[in-house]
Amino acid sequence: MGENSLSSASITDGLETQFIGQRVIYYPRLASTMEVAKREARLGAAEGTVIIAGEQTAGRGRIGRFWLSPKGSIALSIILYPSLVYLPSLIMLASLAVVHSVEAVTGLKSQVKWPNDVLVNGRKVCGILIESDVLGDTVVYAIIGIGVNVNLRASDFPEISQFATSLSDELGGGISLLSLIRRLLIEVEGLYLTLLAGGSIYEEWRDNLVTLGKKVKVESGKNRYEGIAESVARDGSLLLRQANGSLTKIVAGDVTLRN
């Protein structure tokens, strides 16, 4: 089933969730799902409202980078109103939801590269962006943005072909965008409800990290580090063992796996 079959109704119809995806706003073409989601959140949109674009023309990745979202890919943003304590877990939740959904729908195994990429066979297939507005101890809103390369040929896009892939490239055939989106929303809600019930998703996320135990280079702001990615803290920070034996905690940064 192609992107042309996508609509708000096709996504929500019979969707077995309590609130995530029960309201979907679908655009065939849109600049940025994150910007629309933020606007909707400021207007008091119901928790679990999802903004989806068939094609995104000005998608954003982390650190203000451009995120390519041509037709055949998934570009969506989910509005949440979590307590402050759950904010660090949203990146774990989103990446695990993608891993679960990809395997359920395609049978492909994927792994997480700290902090926000999902890889299939060592190549990036998904990027995740979390943006929130916090006043004091109150989260005004949190938006989970997820972009997945589904039905596209990475080789058609030279700007990503060196490091990225798509699910159809890996599977050798097309995938139902509708099935993957619906499964993704179910998985996001299940993991979110686990958190709200006092459960932990940290251990599963940690165990899915391809980064751990590897030699890595990390760029964090103006700082650069090299060492072994030893572990991750419960708040999602990377614990890097440098050559001098020191252990450095990195809250945010870009990781390159070294051979």
Tokens 């050559």 sit on residue = 243
pTM of the complete model: 0.92
Pairing of strands 138-148, 50-53: unpaired
Q: Is beta strand 50-53 parallel, antiparallel or unpaired with respect to 24-27?
A: parallel
Q: Confidence class of residue 60 from pLDDT cuts 50, 70 and 90?
A: low
Is residue 158's pLDDT more than 80? no
Q: Which one is predicted more confidently, 172 or 221?
A: 172
Which domains occur in the chain, in start order? 3-206 (3.30.930.10), 212-257 (2.30.30.100)
Q: Do residues 139 and 132 touch, judged by C-beta distance below 8 A?
A: yes
Is residue 56 classed as helix, strand or coil in its secondary structure? strand
Average pLDDT over residues 12-30: 96
